[in-house]
Structure 1
Amino acid sequence: MDAEISGTGRVWTGGSARSTGSIHRPRSVCSKAQAGKRNAKKVLGNLDAGGEKQKYKVIEIAASSYPVSSLCKLFKVSRSGYYAYPKRKHMDRDKEAALLIRRVYARYEGKYGYRQIQLFLWQDEGIWMNHKKVLRLMQKLGLQSNIRRKRRFNTAYHAGERVAENLLKRNFTAEKPNQKWVTDVTQYRVGERWLYLSAVKDLFNNEIVAYQLSERNDNELVLKTFAKAFAKQKDVTGLVVHSDQGFQYTSHAYHDMLPKVSAQISMSRRGNCLDNASMESFFSHLKTEGLYPYNIRNLAEAQNRIEKYIRFYNQRRPQRKLNKLTPVEYRRQFAA
């Protein structure tokens, strides 16, 4: 689609929405066309080819060199239509982004808000979208996290036999694996029965190193958890293991076990849950994402949900603090 820009002696070639540069034609040719001695379409090309969208694209490219009003007149389109074109383009891009967000939101059962959806877009689709755009489109689509935090049941402390100093002091970062672990026990109720989960988390990459489930909240629950952890990690010399002052962690058995592997014991101050906030955070994610959204009817189903979520958390759930990687990916990247 070739067109002369009035008063310039130059011809713009539209083709397939791409610029071929400024093509000079002899002034005699242009004067003949202006005088009507030749057919304008033969000189300028078919200005009706390609439809309005094609014309808007050509005008958009040429607008940096020629007046928009002249271009619109030449291509027989309205200026208002052209100026609305960038907005429509933006809406088209939003349409694609919105479909993608809706798909990712549905893939994870509507559990997550815009910040986690942003990370899943990057992990699953390879698309990094500004978090403000994700939030705007989710609000436009009426999408929000469907999980609700439930009231926490606090268990009573039993008087401890041994209490250690708080070595961690809320410094929940580590420079390498097996430098700092945090641990705790949480409970989940199904009907009139309780299921107890003991877990150990590595603060280097927030990975759940080991866990144990039981219907009994006793010393054996914690000891079995650490037996699994130490079976995976052969050398833990200098490791700091932080817990609260629960009765399992102040028991003789616990205090005898850790020094045998050259690990140090650290404990929160009495009744101060923020001293072990990192572990509390994991339990919160587990319950709000992996348990509360489901109608769990028995302990076997609860156990299955917990085990499934821990695998998901370690292997599939990216974290902003880990450079948008999952705990396992972050550990492997460090080891590479």
Structure 2
Amino acid sequence: MIKHYHPAFGYWTVTDDLRVKWHLKINHKRVYRLMQANHLSAKVYNLRAGKYDSSKGPQGKKAQNRLHRRFMTDRPLQKVVTDISEFRYGTMSMKERVYLSPFKDLYGGVILGYTITDRPLTSYVLAGLQQVINKRPNNLGYRMTIHSDQGIQYQSHAYRAALKKQHIFQSMSRRGNCYDNAAMESFFHTMKVEMYFTHHYATKAALIQAMETWIGYYNQKRDRHKLKGATPNAYWDSALKKIV
């Protein structure tokens, strides 16, 4: 009866699917027992394999850590996180790469903007940043903080100048400390488990189409237990309308 079961779905995700889409009154403990009995436990993948290192290259200016693992926020566009991750396609002997650079609002987890490119250049990060800025109302009433690692793109003069021009606080994790960007890493893990590790993409076009389709699904259709069954887009839109 589960509409979109995936090997990566845990029992909470399945419970929400049954409650919201099928209108069933069912306890999460019962779902857990049924999944265990039918060998439907979520599969775990190693995300560290092929991880992109954004710290290689000319160093710029680092920013202080303003986030300090304070991931909770009660308003949209207050705390945003970003990072870059690598996706591969092609044959086993000739693997090509594309890079995803998303910006995620910690309120609701919605992806505000992203770019997918052949090379992880600062210009593409700026393009994703502009998508975020376009979603920010002029009368928001508080400043946004965007947190990243110490990647060269985020240390660049162009990126720092763009944040300063928009009165956005910049925040960075310490080198070798990934915990402050755990929210972004969690998104990458979910995405790769659900659309990447279980499929082979022979061409760049096929991979990019799958990535874009999944991000659209994540924002607009993927119900989340933490959001009481709402999708990230619906949860985020509802909160923003109350502010502006």
- In the superposition, the TM-score normalised over structure 1's length comes to 0.65
Q: In 2, Cα distance between the equivalents of 1:218 and 1:128? A: 49
- What residue in structure 1 maps to residue 83 of structure 2? 184
Q: Percent identity?
A: 35
| CA RMSD between the two structures | 1.8
Number of residue pairs the alignment of both structures matches:
233
Secondary structure of the structure 2 residue equivalent to 1:248: helix
Verify: 1:224 aligned to 2:127, yes or no. Answer: yes
Among 22, 28, 47, the alignment partner of 1:125 is 22
- What residue in structure 2 maps to residue 163 of structure 1? 62
- In the superposition, the TM-score normalised over structure 2's length comes to 0.89
Describe the shift of the 1:154–1:137 C-alpha distance in structure 2 as closer, same or farther (beyond 3 A): closer
Q: In 1, Cα distance between the equivalents of 2:161 and 2:21? A: 45
Which range moved further: 216-225 or 231-240? 231-240
Q: In 1, Cα distance between the equivalents of 2:208 and 2:25? A: 35
Which range moved further: 202-211 or 142-151? 142-151
- What residue in structure 1 maps to residue 113 of structure 2? 210
Q: In 1, Cα distance between the equivalents of 2:237 and 2:105? A: 14
Q: Identify, as 1 or 2, the structure richer in helix.
A: 1
Query: Structure with the greater relative contact order (CA < 8 A, sep ≥ 6): 1 or 2?
Result: 2
Among 233, 239, 250, the alignment partner of 2:136 is 233
Secondary structure of the structure 1 residue equivalent to 2:174: coil
Q: In 2, Cα distance between the equivalents of 1:316 and 1:149? A: 26
Among 201, 210, 226, the alignment partner of 2:104 is 201
- What residue in structure 2 maps to residue 84 of structure 1? none
Q: In 2, Cα distance between the equivalents of 1:234 and 1:323? A: 26
Q: In 1, Cα distance between the equivalents of 2:86 and 2:105? A: 21
- What residue in structure 1 maps to residue 216 of structure 2? 311
Structure number with larger C-alpha Rg: 1
In structure 2, list runs of 5 or more residues that go unmatched. Answer: none
Q: In 1, Cα distance between the equivalents of 2:147 and 2:29? A: 37
The aligned amino acid for 1:262 is: H
- What residue in structure 1 maps to residue 158 of structure 2? 253
Secondary structure of the structure 2 residue equivalent to 1:280: helix
Verify: 1:265 aligned to 2:170, yes or no. Answer: yes
What is the CA distance between 1:147 and its match in structure 2? 6.1
Matches within 5 A, 1:51-70: none
Q: In 1, Cα distance between the equivalents of 2:47 and 2:236? A: 32
Verify: 1:113 aligned to 2:10, yes or no. Answer: yes
What is the CA distance between 1:153 and its match in structure 2? 2.6
Among 327, 330, 335, the alignment partner of 2:232 is 327
